[in-house]
Structure 1
Amino acid sequence: MSAISEFDYVVVGAGSAGCLLANRLSANPDNRVLLIEAGDPDTYPWIHIPVGYLYCIGNARTDWMYQTEPAKGLNGRTLIYPRGKALGGCTSINGMIYMRGQARDYDNWAKLTGEDAWNWENCLKDFKAHEDHYRLDNGADPKRADGSNFSDLHGHGGEWRIEKQRLSWEVLDSFADAAEQTGIEKTDDFNAGDNSGVGYFDVNQRKGWRWNASKAFLNSIKSRPNLTIWTRSTVDSLTFAQSKDGKAICSGARINKDGSKIEIRTTIEVILSAGAINSPKILQLSGIGPADLLKSKGIDIVLDAPAVGENLQDHLQIRAIYKVSNTRTLNTLTNSLVGKVKIGLEYMFKRSGPMSMSPSQLGAFTRSDADKEHANLEYHIQPLSLEAFGEDLHDFPAITVSVCNLNPTSRGHVRIKSADPSEPPEIAPNYLDTDEDRKIAADSLRQVRDIMGQNAMQHHEPIEYKPGIQYQSDEELAKLAGDIASTIFHPVGTVKMGKEDDPTAVLDPHLRVKGIGGLRVVDASIMPEITSGNTSSPIIMIAEKASRWILAGQ
């Protein structure tokens, strides 16, 4: 083990949070910043072509290739659990959907932590700080329906580019009309604090190319002499020293860089931004976690922290499939060589068409029943269908109507299986583990049937392919949901923040590890409860807020 020179800040993980942190912390030339990424530089071509997620997920070049444990709620099935492994992290392989969630999410975080900085009004400032929204291009500032300016809620000139999708589909437009017929109003902005409605998602793209966190926050600053970026580097464990009062202080980390073992030291902080799976894994490998777990793996205990790795939450999408007629879908467009060539040429010359697609184009947010005060369901509607991710599209025209419970009550965990850093952890989301989650799953499938039965869809003659109209009872539909559901890749909560006296919280409201000096966590794992929507942009907001605290020594 060889030691090298010190850094002031060490950021572990170059994903949604880590890229922004590296940018903000190195803006002061006096700060020596090291950014560590386990994967490669983001030079793989499929990272940058939007439809390339099909070739990045399940590819060891860009994906950690994790899997979940068999789940009772999924009738014993395991799921692939993609996590980005390249500069940009999950923003290099995700669905590119720009979504903040709901104002109530952040107001609830403020209550759970006792920190007003987490309320919606204050988080909105952090969202806007790095936004570059297309509707504010060329000095435009359109009026909203309530008379306010668009710029009251969105930013322009920041690094995180948000654009309108570059395609539409007749069958998806019909679905939006059908949803409206059930009472779901159309919307052109899911990000105003209440995302109820149906419409096309805005996406993190620039002129038809994926816009990941590496492009946004690193490309323009890589030449800063005070910023060092290491790729192909993993953290085996953190290192610790003791202060005069006996408190453990994180002093650095042991790194495996291209097979070489290196020890680094920090003068101020180590910041874990490795995500909801790898951040708790690193903490546990370093002796911070449940004492019984650590002892069983032969790891010396630095801090008995039972909550590390617990509280795992994720959005489970239930993938209903409908055969359709009298319209085009991606299934039919790709069933011939001529169709595939046309798709390729359209992207080559126009940067539009199916190759510019995010995995889901049309979205909807609504309530599973009238008793809900807020939208608790999110739809991702796609003009395609397949049996499972990675398999060929069906040879018949169809659409997939995926629906997920935004506020699941099921909780899972992430736990190391051994002291070997190279071994994947045990990932158990425990989907559909509660009666409430199973009831919402059944209700959501009934709601899908209601929308597909509206007049606006009848020209397409929809026929339910999955789960099958013969299944009607709550019990049948909940079981079928377990058969056809899959993760939508939103794990959060495994190193959650909370009040100082909250025994289930690993972090204080400023994201510092309680009981340890010089160590902070800034990523999806800090969420006490999952946001009501896609999680990528909320993570960037978290990093924006945390960067100010870190620079202020708070």
Structure 2
Amino acid sequence: MARSFDYIIVGAGSAGCVLANRLSANGRYSVCLLEAGPTDRYLWLHIPIGYSKTMFHPVYNWRFKTEPEPNMHGRALYWPRGRTLGGSSSINGLIYVRGQRHDYDHWSALGNHGWSWPECLHYFRRLEHNELGASATRGMEGPLWASTIKQRHELVDAFISAANKIGMRTVDDFNSGDQEGVGYYQLTTRKGWRCSSAVAYLKPARRRPNLHVETSALAAKILFEGTRATGIRYLKHGQTAEIHANKEVLLAAGALQSPQLLQVSGVGPAQLLRDFGIPVVADRPGVGENLQDHLQVRLIYEVARPISTNNLLHSWRGRAQMGLQWALFREGPLAVGINQGGMFCRALPDEAKTPDVQFHFSTLSADAAGGEVHAFPGCTYSICQLRPESRGVLRLRTTDMRDAPSLQPNYLSTDLDRRTTIAGVRFARRVAAAEPMAALMKREIRPGADAQTDDELLQFCREYGQTIFHPSGTAKMGVANDPLAVVDERLRVYGTRGLRVIDCSIMPTLVSGNTNVPVVMIAEKASDMILADADTEPAA
């Protein structure tokens, strides 16, 4: 039976939960939130270190894979994406980072009015409860917590001190707009628990009578009357259902599934759609183009003393200690996740005016993020280029949303990307060789002492590089005369009515850092725009 709501939100992830809260808050509008995955009742979705338990989970993770990557030795790379309430904010590494002032000023300079740093800062402050306290750039009244790491770790302290020795300043706040420096990250945790967007935004709103949340409901197609989006057809437990949108359909399914749903529904490159027999609603060549991601390269070191998290995880005493710390005090390794130390630096200082590389320093080591930790004491220096030039593409494989799209990120396809990544590896080695870090590093496991030339380091990056989980840009925001723009500055899909995209897809260029908090900001800003337009947009 068809049902009707003012707003239909597709995807209960970082953006969707924000929209569900804000659009239902005044009680004037009915809102339906569709989520393809189950509810977030699994305990490890809420314990910060549970990141390792959900990285490959068949229920709570979409477990996408790219096409074989020509610049990565032909490897098909694993791309995890959250599949539950909270989406990827329920399974991510918890790092609280906004990006740089320049990122947003650049969006504005491209013609996207209203998206400069000062204009976005209002929403960054609105969304957060920052344990560092309120300031000109920090907020204290928002639902999403930015928590400080209270228990220091000897390895992280040594990492910070070693970076100081080579000229990096210590900072306690990476989010003032500048970033440059080294320190402990803030995390999206609250009193030892993960603070996902489902916890921060959706949970407080669930009892509102005008908000309906439908889980295990996979959006199969956007319904159109002419060029106006009028509803969603979705699949649940093998059955098909339809719901009608009186005002707007809002896509918040992420940078992979929002463009896939657009293409399946007839919005995308016309020839691609015709090849699949899909009637063209709007010829938008940019849908699925402009795919960007941060490539992660992980240097692994054996630690000279048994002080790493590896040691705790391989000892029953250590595991018991961690469990008690968390159970009694909500502290210890279980409360802070994997990565604690951070750094933003200029690996190519003669070319980069702002930091071009980000570090995630971890007190454990494994062959892959979320994998089995090594038997020896270990730590990981993870580096990624912040503003890659490489651009990829997303395309349909079939017209069925149950089938994953084709993903071709084209990592390391430009000279700047290759040089920056190699320089980042060399910068990590400089930190590892500086005291007091040097005294704690027994040996470099990967890439290993034999890899010294640029060609050898590039081969290491190609062989071991992986995603750091930030796919973006596949339905980019841009001006009307940009042939690849998919949405305008109010996130409305060009060539349609009653349809917006509100997630990582809309980023014209990737932000300099982790993407979760920027997406929450985008949704906060979008909710204001939607509500402002509500009385002027004619009903369907």
The answer to whether the superposition gives a TM-score over 0.5 is: yes
Aligned residue in 2 for 1:313: 292
Mapped partners of 2:338, 2:385: distance in 1: 19
Answer yes or no: is 1:514 the counterpart of 2:468.
no
Aligned amino acid, residue 66 of structure 1: F
Q: How does 1:316-331 map to 2 (within 5 A)?
A: 316-331=295-310
Alignment-derived partner of residue 163 in structure 1: 147
Output the CA distance in 2 between the equivalents of 1:356 and 1:131: 19
Partner of 2:65: 67
* Residue matched to 2:6: 8
Q: Which of 106, 124, 127 does residue 124 from structure 2 map onto? A: 127
- Residues 1:102 and 2:81 aligned together: no
Between the aligned partners of 1:30 and 1:335, the Cα distance in structure 2 is 54
The CA deviation at 1:445 is 1.0
Corresponding residue for residue 361 of structure 2: 381
SS of 1:135 mapped into structure 2: coil
Write the distance in 2 (CA, Å) between the matches of 1:423 and 1:542.
Answer: 28
* C-alpha deviation, 1:251, in angstroms: 0.9
Match of 2:264 in 1: 285
Indicate if the aligned counterparts of 1:165 and 1:200 stay in contact, CA closer than 8 A: yes
Partner of 1:458: 438
Rounded Cα–Cα distance in structure 1 between residues aligned with 2:360 and 2:223 = 43
Describe the superposition over 1:256-312 as per-residue Cα deviations: whole angstroms up to 9, x where unpaired. Answer: 123221111111100000000000010010011112221222212111111100101
Give a deviation string over 1:402-457, Cα, whole Å, max 9, x none.
00000001111111101122111111111111111111111111111111111222
Match of residue 434 from structure 1? 414
| Contact 1:493–1:528 (CA under 8 A) maintained in structure 2 | yes
Counterpart contact for 2:3–2:242, Cα < 8 Å: no
Cα pair 1:386 1:394 within 8 Å, conserved: yes
Displacement of 1:390 in angstroms is: 4.5
Q: Residue 255 of structure 2 aligns with which residue?
A: 276
1:68-113 deviation digits (Å, cap 9, x = unpaired):
1111221111221111110111110001111100000000010113
Give the letter aligned to residue 301 of structure 2. Answer: Y
Q: Kindly indicate whether residue 282 of structure 2 is the aligned counterpart of residue 303 of structure 1.
A: yes
**Residue 364 (str. 1) matches residue 364 (str. 2):** no
User: Partners of 1:461 and 1:285 in 2: how far apart?
Assistant: 51
Aligned partner of 2:457 among 457, 477, 485: 477
Q: Which residue of 1 aligns with 2:26?
A: 28
1:199 aligns with 2:177: no
The CA distance in 2 between the partners of 1:253 and 1:237, in whole Å, is 6
Count of equivalent residues: 533
Match of 1:48?
Answer: 46
Distance 1:90 1:114, change over 3 A: closer
TM-score by length of 2: 0.97
Match of 1:210 among 194, 210, 213: 194
* Structure 2 residue 527 is the aligned partner of structure 1 residue 547: yes
**In structure 2, C-alpha distance between the alignment counterparts of 1:459 and 1:390, rounded to whole Å:** 27
Structure 2 unaligned blocks of 5 or more: 535-540
Matched, 1:351 2:330: yes
- In structure 2, C-alpha distance between the alignment counterparts of 1:427 and 1:175, rounded to whole Å: 36
Is 1:502 matched up with 2:499? no
Percentage identity across paired residues of the two chains: 44
- Residue 338 of structure 1 and its aligned partner are, at CA, apart by 1.9
Instruction: Decide whether the 8 Å contact of 2:348 with 2:356 is kept in 1.
Output: no
Amino acid at match of 1:268: K
Structure 2 counterpart of 1:233, one-letter code: A
Q: Distance in 1 between matches of 2:24 and 2:324?
A: 41
Equivalent residue, structure 2, for 1:404: 384
Structure 1 residue 335, shift from structure 2 partner: 1.9
Residues 161-182 of structure 1: CA distance to partner in whole angstroms, max 9, x if unpaired? 1111243211111111111111
What is the CA–CA distance in structure 1 between the aligned matches of 2:94 and 2:220, rounded to whole Å? 31
Q: What's the offset of the Cα at 1:391?
A: 3.3
RMSD: 1.2
SS of 1:495's partner is: coil
1:364-391 CA-to-partner distances (Å, cap 9, x unmatched) read 0000122111001000000111112343
TM-score normalised by structure 1 residue count: 0.94
Q: How many angstroms apart in 1 are the aligned matches of 2:435 and 2:322?
A: 31
Runs (4 or more) in structure 1 with deviation over 6 Å come to none
What letter corresponds to residue 329 of structure 1 in structure 2?
S
Tell me how far apart the structure 2 counterparts of residues 32 and 334 of structure 1 sit (CA, whole Å). 47
Q: Which runs of 5+ in 1 are unaligned?
A: 137-149, 243-247
SS at 2:404 equivalent: coil
Tell me if 1:179 matches 2:168.
Answer: no
Residues 44/224 of structure 1: CA separation in 2 closer, same or farther (3 Å cut): same
Contact 1:344 1:355 in 2 (8 A): yes
Once the two structures are superposed, residues 337-369 of structure 1 have per-residue CA deviations (whole angstroms, 9 ceiling, x without a partner) of 222122212211111111112221100000012
CA contact under 8 A between 1:97 and 1:358: conserved in structure 2? no
Contact 1:34 1:229 in 2 (8 A): yes
User: Aligned partner of 1:296: which letter?
Assistant: D
Counterpart mapping for 1:229-240 below 5 A:
229-240=213-224
